[in-house]
Chain A
Amino acid sequence: MSEASATSTQADGAEAASLPWLQLSAWSVLYFIARNIAALVGNFWTLVPVVYVGVQSGAAIVVGIVSVLLAGIVAFAFLQYRFFRYRLTGKQVEVRQGVLSRRATSLEFGRVQNVNIELPFYYRPLRLVTLKIDSAGSSGDEVDLSALTGAAAASIRAQIVAGRQSDVVGDGDTTNEGDGTGDLLITRSNVDLIIHGLTNNRAWIVAGGALALLGQAGDRLDNLIANQVAALGDQATAALAEQSLVIVALVVVGLVLLVVAFMSLLSVLGSILSYYDFRLYGSSDRLTVQRGLLVRRETNLRKSRVQVVVSDESWLDRAFARRNLVYEQLRQASGDGAGSGRDESRAVVPSVNASQLLSLSREIGPLPNTEALTYQGVNVRQFLKSLLKLAALNAAIVLLALALGAAAGWLVAGSVLLWLLVAPLCWLAWKRWGLALTSDYLVVRRGIIGVSYYTVPVHKLQKVRLSRSWLMGRNDLLHVTFTVASRALTVPMFAGESARLCADLMLARVESERRSWM
Chain B
Amino acid sequence: MEFLNDPIELDNLPRARSLPTQPIEAAHAWLGLGIRWLLAAAMLTAAFVVSKIGLRADSDVSLPWIMVAVAAGLFLLGVTTWLHRRSIRYGLRAHDFLLAKGVLWRSETVQPLCRVQHVQIEQGPIEKRLDLASLALYSAGTGAASFQVPGLRKADAEQMRSVVLAYTEPDSA
Contacts and interface: CB of A to CB of B under 8 A. Distances in A.
Interface of A: 330-331, 333-334, 365-366, 439, 461-470, 473, 483-488, 500-501, 503-505, 507-508, 510-511, 514, 517
Interface in B1-30: 1, 3, 5, 8, 10, 13-17
Contact of A462 (B8, B14, B141, B171): B141
A331 B143 CA distance: 10
A488 B144 CA distance: 9
13 contacts: A330-B141, A366-B3, A462-B145, A463-B112, A466-B109, A483-B139, A484-B141, A486-B141, A500-B16, A504-B13, A507-B96, A510-B114, A511-B112
Contacts of A463: 109-112, 115, 139, 147
A504 B15 contact: yes
A465 B108 contact: yes
Given A486-B141, A507-B112, A514-B114, 11 more contacts: A333-B143, A366-B1, A462-B112, A463-B110, A463-B139, A464-B109, A487-B142, A504-B15, A508-B14, A510-B112, A517-B115
Contacts of A501: 10, 13
Given A333-B145, A503-B16, A466 B108 contact: yes
B59 to A, nearest CB: 28
Contacts of B15: 500, 504
Nearest to B170: A514
A504 B112 contact: no
A469 B104 contact: yes
A240 B5 CA distance: 71
A500 B141 CA distance: 22
B107 interface: yes
Interface string B136-163: 0001111111010000000000000000
B141 A331 contact: yes
B8 A505 contact: yes
Q: Most chain-A Cβ atoms within 10 A of its Cβ — which of B111, B142, B145?
A: B142
Interface residues of B, number: 34
B17 A488 contact: no
A175 to B, nearest CB: 16
A483 B13 contact: no
Contact of A517 (B10, B96, B140, B142): B140
B95 interface: yes
Contacts of A504: 13-16
Contacts of B140: 330, 462, 485, 517
Contacts of B171: 514
A473 B104 CA distance: 9
B115 A462 contact: yes
B14 A500 contact: no
Nearest to B1: A366
Contacts of A439: 5
A517 B117 CA distance: 12
B3 to A, nearest CB: 8
A465 B110 CA distance: 6
Interface string B55-79: 0000000000000000000000000
Contacts of A465: 107-110
Nearest to B144: A488
A484 B139 CA distance: 9
A364 to B, nearest CB: 12
B107 A467 contact: yes
Nearest to B6: A439
A190 to B, nearest CB: 35
B12 to A, nearest CB: 9
B129 interface: no
B15 to A, nearest CB: 5
Most chain-A CB neighbours within 10 Å: which of B102, B139, B143, B147? B139
A488 B141 contact: yes
Contacts of B106: 467-468, 470, 473
A503 B107 CA distance: 13
A217 to B, nearest CB: 32
From A463, A468, A503, residue with most partner B Cβ within 10 Å: A463
A511 B111 CA distance: 10
A464 B139 CA distance: 12
B111 A467 contact: no
A466 B109 CA distance: 6
Contacts of A507: 14, 16, 95-96, 110, 112
Residue among A467, A486, A500, A507 with the most chain B CB within 10 A?
A507
A497 to B, nearest CB: 10
Contact of A333 (B14, B114, B142): B142
Interface in B96-129: 96, 102, 104-115
B10 to A, nearest CB: 8
**Can you list the 9 inter-chain pairs with the closest CB atoms, starting with the nearest?**
A467-B107, A511-B95, A485-B140, A465-B109, A470-B104, A462-B139, A463-B111, A514-B114, A466-B108
B141 A483 contact: yes
**Of listed A439, A484, A510, A511, residue having the most chain B CB within 10 A:** A511
B105 A468 contact: yes
Contacts of B1: 365-366
A454 B37 CA distance: 47
Contacts of B14: 504, 507-508
A462 B96 CA distance: 11
Contacts of B139: 462-463, 483
A125 to B, nearest CB: 41
A487 B143 CA distance: 10
Nearest to B105: A469
Nearest to B95: A511
Contacts of B115: 461-463, 510, 517
Nearest to B107: A467
Contact of B144 (A466, A483, A511): A483
Given A468-B105, A469-B104, A470-B104, A331 B16 contact: no
Nearest to A486: B141
Nearest to A497: B17
